[in-house]
Structure 1
Amino acid sequence: MDLRRVLRSSSVALVGAALLMSGCSSGDGGSAGAESKPAEQPPNSTRTPGGDAEPLRPLQKKIPADLAPYYEQKLKWRDCDAAGFRCARLTVPLDYEDPSEDAELRLAVSRRKASGDGPAIGSLMVNPGGPGGSAIDYLRQAAAVGFPAELRDRYDLVGMDPRGVGRSEPVECLSGREMDRYTRTDQTPDDADEVDALATAYENFAKGCRQRSGGLLEHVSTRDAARDMDVLRAVLGDRKLYYYGASYGTYLGATYAGLFPYRTGRLVLDGAIDPSLDALEINRQQTGGFATAFRAFAEDCVERDDCPLGTGSVQQAGKRLGDLFEKIDRKPLRTGSSRTLTESLAATGVIQAMYTEVYWPRLRLALTEAAGGNGAGLLALSDAYYERGSDGSYGNIMFANAAVNCADLPPAFSSPGDVEDSVGSFEKVSPVFGRTFAWASLNCAYWQVEPTGSPHRIAAAGAAPMLVVGTTRDPATPYSWAQGLAGQLRTGRLLTYEGDGHTAFMQGSQCIDAAITDYFVDGDVPPEGTRCE
């Protein structure tokens, strides 16, 4: 089982650069049929961007006296990577409303200076999403070599793991063995006993987070993380923030713009989240995103002679996948190790492969093997999703994901009965994944800390022009979310990628890459209505 997150983009491991805002994930346990095409909000939709959600109001421009020491601190840089990165620790208050030297956090920061001969434009912060993705890992593994040379030449590239994430006071919840049990829990319960088992798993997960992470859980919201970014901006000597955020990173970047519009520079928000949606709607709409992704995969698969889902229609492919999940639910598959593949792990493996076309060949092979009784391929995909190491240890992304999501919004459901009343609406959106996503939305109901956030709209009036990027068949962050965010931001400009996969930058579109690079380097915003393929 996993906590549905808004996956981080370029690293392609769900939970976002993706998991979603409130729940667990894995696949459906037997729903059959074709994936429906979720409604795409047209550019001229009559829906008011942000609806009736309360506005996010900016913080005062003047730095409060009790926060001045944090804004004026000097970082102690040290060499930490053969590729030219230097590292430091940023000190921030645990509680911005009541800062105290007795309650501070030290956040990990990494930077590689601009490599060009001319003067640097400034610092370009990055965040790959999640919530829970490590910005430092992303920067080293992707941005440093994947970003266009113009960006590496003109910007100091900077990554800071947000509070509760990676190297920055990480949230902890369960041991490796406990996580192994947790991820095997049936996420599509068939009877009262299985419902109770799933609810107990969520409750034990929440209790583990509270016991191991304590008071940190009360201060890991996106708003807290955005305020940390402003401290880092000032300490780096930048008058305004320059930023690339993917998936959940768009929510973090947009929150920054809403709180500090007067210090917002060039922001690219790629694979955007609509902050005006509540947790239930986010989970239901993300279900539609994965329906779109599965349809694209199935349409490609059934045209191939080796498709493990047959060569018929997309509807038949969905039925065969559901049948496979039901078979695994009855009898888990061997994997060549001491671990067997359960239905929940199998479904998570399929979901992992929906993030990018690059995984499609691997998924076809894994499904072929599973049909023959070997679950090793799907288990490997599931392990990648959960960031499970070969030694049985887990990264903290699943823990941080739950902590941030459950802090940012009230839970989608309050009880198993609420889920049972809504399963039908999820299955209508996605016959294959709907049941899983519905039950995944229950996890925050058992969280041990009250949420501090609520749905809101972000105008960021007075901010510099911002670029919002949406992919038309994005599984984790549906295209309509990019439309919604761009419509709320007073200076937002929507850039559309007609394609598959989660996020668009550095995913193979020269049109997208050129538009984003020109924006960062020269400040040129693409013309209204620009669409790339």
Structure 2
Amino acid sequence: MRRTIHRAGAALLPLLLVVAGCSVGPSQRPAVAYHDSEQQVAPAPQAPKPQPVPPLGSAPTDSLNWQDCTEQTRAELGALPPGMTFSCSRLLSTLDAPEAPEQGTARNSLIRTGSGRVPLVVVGDIGGEPGTTFAARLATQLPPEIRGTFDIVGMDRRGTGESEPADCVPPQQREQIVGFDPRATQREELDELLEAVLAGSQECLLKLDERLQAYDTWRTASDLEELRLELGVPRLHAIGRGEAGRLLTTYAERYPGAVGRFVIDGAPDPTRDSMGQSEQQAQAAEQVFDVFAADCLRRACPLGPNPRQAVSDLVERTRTAPLPAQGTTVPAGRVTQAVLQGLSDRNSWPALAEALAAGSRGDGARLAALTAPQVAPQGVNPPWLDGDLITSCNDTTLRVPPQRSSELAQDWVHRFPLFGGVAVQRVVWCGSWPVPQQPLPTPRRADLPPIPVITTAHDPKALALGTDHLADELPTGVPMRWQGAGHGAIARSTCITDAVSRFLVRGVPPTEGMACPE
């Protein structure tokens, strides 16, 4: 099943409209058998049964050309555990653009580390650091049992990192989009954001052409399948953090027979559309900020007796007077984005408080550093915004008209004072984007192995209730809960990490509904 995309006319540039045909599907009536002139209804087929935890599999017949890249990885991550080495390669798969189905070539950058013989693929959020960086960083934090059993393999998703990066939004528009006023609620104000996104997307269409609509989760799932084949393994074992959980469930719907030991660590709510997911993220971020503020008070952090008010005042001030920083400025939107970025890792909360306090004193350097990866290249890696924008809009069929955006902004900014505005802006991004004809599949297969789904109580990017809904919707989902804070529990919670290790290494599923303390 291929996802055909209609290209919208006035949205970007005059585009060719691809019209998908319709056909009558198979009859849904029960099968009928005839015997001795008596009509008999054949028994209804039995529902598929869940599969057991699959074996790890034999040693793979890897056909990829790996080259040592330890020093490059050390330069990116800093100090590495003693004896830890990395190798890099490149995966070639089919681009499969809407205008050229099953044609063209996509090139994905790969990294590998570990002393085991069984590949364990690690994928992360499309809007965060590149997949190779995320996998390498996580590998340094995983227990020896996992590193000794598996080769940890990371992949830069289409349009990110070194996987033919979508470095196409002009710097001016990129700065405008990321720094846009998070308290803008009027139609005229939001139209300025839409114009910036439109200008950026036009440049992306000119640079990427048919590749633009081939950067999505549906086709990235086929990249994972090609990776499995190149690795020479019968089943894919994988960890998906955050939005990458949707990538793994899409893969499972498309290639159910190739699903190995999957773990999903925080994920969007599959029962909500992209607008509902953005609203949930705003709600989650507000809740996590309250936990951050309480922690700040316990530590007597430099934000004073009311951290929320201190940050709110900083956002208000920078709406009209951006903070100075070397080579750039930090307007209100970047202040809010810096808070979101800092909340994702509880270990960074003291540094986030220091950066916000410095901002209150008029120094934007630390806040600029937190948001720099979104707007500027970092070494060989392109800005995060471009791949996030393209993939996010290619993945959703929802398009909100401008007048509705203003109504949403007024509501969300009122209900979620710090983060409602940036959540609405993500909805606005896709207002003039070509609309995919078919949404991503809903997790529904009942013939999969057990899939642990981890919920973090205070995750700024995935509302706990939303991840719980994924565990409920996934017929073989096994819910696990961590009462801590941050984006992702693996390698942060010893309790969760031990349970995941038992599942991945020894095939022992966690107890359904198990809860781990903070």
Report the TM-score when normalising by structure 1: 0.77
What is the aligned partner in structure 1 of residue 67 from structure 2? 78
Are the structure 2 counterparts of residues 437 and 520 from structure 1 closer, same or farther at C-alpha, using a change threshold of 3 Å?
A: same
- For the residues of structure 1 that align with 2:281 and 2:365, how far apart are their CA atoms? 27
Matched, 1:327 2:305: no
Matched, 1:495 2:489: no
Of residues 516, 519, 525 in structure 1, which corresponds to 2:500?
A: 516
Of stretches 212-221 and 173-182 in structure 1, the one that deviates more from structure 2 is 173-182
Q: Quick check: 1:172–1:213 contact (8 Å CA) kept in 2?
A: no
Q: Quick check: 2:99–2:210 contact (8 Å CA) kept in 1?
A: no
- For the residues of structure 1 that align with 2:149 and 2:300, how far apart are their CA atoms? 48
Give how far 1:97 is off. Answer: 8.3
Give how far 1:87 is off. Answer: 3.1
Of residues 141, 150, 154 in structure 2, which corresponds to 1:146?
A: 141
- For the residues of structure 1 that align with 2:93 and 2:422, how far apart are their CA atoms? 38
What is the aligned partner in structure 2 of residue 411 from structure 1? 398
Q: Quick check: 1:408–1:453 contact (8 Å CA) kept in 2?
A: no
Of residues 351, 361, 370 in structure 1, which corresponds to 2:359?
A: 370
Alignment of structure 1 residues 312-391 onto 2, 5 Å = 317-335=307-325, 337-384=326-373, 386=374, 388-389=376-377
- For the residues of structure 1 that align with 2:185 and 2:404, how far apart are their CA atoms? 16
Q: Quick check: 1:127–1:134 contact (8 Å CA) kept in 2?
A: no
What is the aligned partner in structure 1 of residue 459 from structure 2? 474
What is the aligned partner in structure 2 of residue 239 from structure 1? 234
Matched, 1:293 2:288: yes
Alignment of structure 1 residues 389-404 onto 2, 5 Å = 389=377, 395-404=382-391
Report the TM-score when normalising by structure 2: 0.79
Are the structure 2 counterparts of residues 394 and 108 from structure 1 closer, same or farther at C-alpha, using a change threshold of 3 Å?
A: closer
Query: What's the CA shift string for 1:155-198, capped at 9, x where partnerless?
Result: 12222222222222222322445533443343433656533322
Q: Quick check: 1:465–1:492 contact (8 Å CA) kept in 2?
A: yes
Alignment of structure 1 residues 111-130 onto 2, 5 Å = 111-112=112-113, 114-115=114-115, 120=117, 122-130=118-126
- For the residues of structure 2 that align with 1:107 and 1:216, how far apart are their CA atoms? 14
Give how far 1:73 is off. Answer: 10
What is the aligned partner in structure 2 of residue 3 from structure 1? none
- For the residues of structure 1 that align with 2:102 and 2:220, how far apart are their CA atoms? 18
Give how far 1:333 is off. Answer: 2.5
What is the aligned partner in structure 2 of residue 47 from structure 1? none
Are the structure 2 counterparts of residues 303 and 80 from structure 1 closer, same or farther at C-alpha, using a change threshold of 3 Å?
A: closer
Matched, 1:264 2:259: yes
Give how far 1:503 is off. Answer: 0.7
Are the structure 2 counterparts of residues 465 and 190 from structure 1 closer, same or farther at C-alpha, using a change threshold of 3 Å?
A: closer
Q: Mind listing any 5+ residue stretches in structure 1 that lack a counterpart? A: 1-57, 59-71
Are the structure 2 counterparts of residues 322 and 532 from structure 1 closer, same or farther at C-alpha, using a change threshold of 3 Å?
A: same
Are the structure 2 counterparts of residues 297 and 171 from structure 1 closer, same or farther at C-alpha, using a change threshold of 3 Å?
A: same
Tell me the secondary structure at the aligned position of residue 435 of structure 2: coil
Give how far 1:136 is off. Answer: 1.7
Matched, 1:434 2:420: yes
Tell me the secondary structure at the aligned position of residue 156 of structure 1: strand
Are the structure 2 counterparts of residues 389 and 404 from structure 1 closer, same or farther at C-alpha, using a change threshold of 3 Å?
A: closer
Give how far 1:202 is off. Answer: 1.6
Q: Quick check: 1:185–1:201 contact (8 Å CA) kept in 2?
A: no
Considering only aligned residues, what root-mean-square deviation do their CA atoms show, in Å? 2.7
What is the aligned partner in structure 1 of residue 22 from structure 2? none
Query: What's the CA shift string for 1:72-127, capped at 9, x where partnerless?
Result: 99433333435543333322211188977862223223333x525xxx3x211111
- For the residues of structure 2 that align with 1:110 and 1:452, how far apart are their CA atoms? 34
What is the aligned partner in structure 1 of residue 429 from structure 2? 443
Give how far 1:412 is off. Answer: 5.0
Q: Quick check: 1:239–1:263 contact (8 Å CA) kept in 2?
A: yes
- For the residues of structure 2 that align with 1:443 and 1:464, how far apart are their CA atoms? 37
Question: 2:447 corresponds to which letter in structure 1?
Answer: G
RCO greater where, 1 or 2, for CA within 8 Å and sep 6 or more? 1
Alignment of structure 1 residues 189-228 onto 2, 5 Å = 189=184, 193-228=188-223
Q: Quick check: 1:131–1:404 contact (8 Å CA) kept in 2?
A: no
Give how far 1:271 is off. Answer: 1.1
Question: 1:374 corresponds to which letter in structure 2?
Answer: D
- For the residues of structure 2 that align with 1:453 and 1:479, how far apart are their CA atoms? 27
- For the residues of structure 1 that align with 2:164 and 2:367, how far apart are their CA atoms? 32
What is the aligned partner in structure 2 of residue 252 from structure 1? 247
Aligned residues between the structures: 446
Are the structure 2 counterparts of residues 451 and 373 from structure 1 closer, same or farther at C-alpha, using a change threshold of 3 Å?
A: same
What is the aligned partner in structure 2 of residue 311 from structure 1? 305
Query: What's the CA shift string for 1:182-228, capped at 9, x where partnerless?
Result: 43343433656533322211211211221221111221221111111
- For the residues of structure 2 that align with 1:458 and 1:425, how far apart are their CA atoms? 31
Query: What's the CA shift string for 1:325-364, capped at 9, x where partnerless?
Result: 22222222333x3433212222222222221222221222
- For the residues of structure 1 that align with 2:67 and 2:422, how far apart are their CA atoms? 46
What is the aligned partner in structure 1 of residue 515 from structure 2? 531
Q: Quick check: 2:160–2:382 contact (8 Å CA) kept in 1?
A: no
Q: Quick check: 1:289–1:475 contact (8 Å CA) kept in 2?
A: yes
- For the residues of structure 1 that align with 2:66 and 2:299, how far apart are their CA atoms? 53
- For the residues of structure 1 that align with 2:191 and 2:99, how far apart are their CA atoms? 40
Give how far 1:506 is off. Answer: 0.6
Question: 2:115 corresponds to which letter in structure 1?
Answer: S
- For the residues of structure 2 that align with 1:428 and 1:356, how far apart are their CA atoms? 26
Query: What's the CA shift string for 1:241-287, capped at 9, x where partnerless?
Result: 10011112211111111212222110010012223321110110111
Tell me the secondary structure at the aligned position of residue 394 of structure 2: helix
Q: Quick check: 1:188–1:439 contact (8 Å CA) kept in 2?
A: no
What is the aligned partner in structure 2 of residue 505 from structure 1? 490
- For the residues of structure 1 that align with 2:397 and 2:347, how far apart are their CA atoms? 35
Question: 1:474 corresponds to which letter in structure 2?
Answer: D
- For the residues of structure 1 that align with 2:339 and 2:452, how far apart are their CA atoms? 31
- Aligned-residue sequence identity (percent) comes to 28
Q: For the pair shown, which has the larger CA radius of gyration, 1 or 2?
A: 2
Question: 1:487 corresponds to which letter in structure 2?
Answer: D
Q: Quick check: 1:280–1:412 contact (8 Å CA) kept in 2?
A: no
Q: Mind listing any 5+ residue stretches in structure 2 that lack a counterpart? A: 1-47, 49-60, 72-83
Question: 2:376 corresponds to which letter in structure 1?
Answer: R
Tell me the secondary structure at the aligned position of residue 400 of structure 2: coil
Give how far 1:397 is off. Answer: 2.3
Question: 1:115 corresponds to which letter in structure 2?
Answer: S
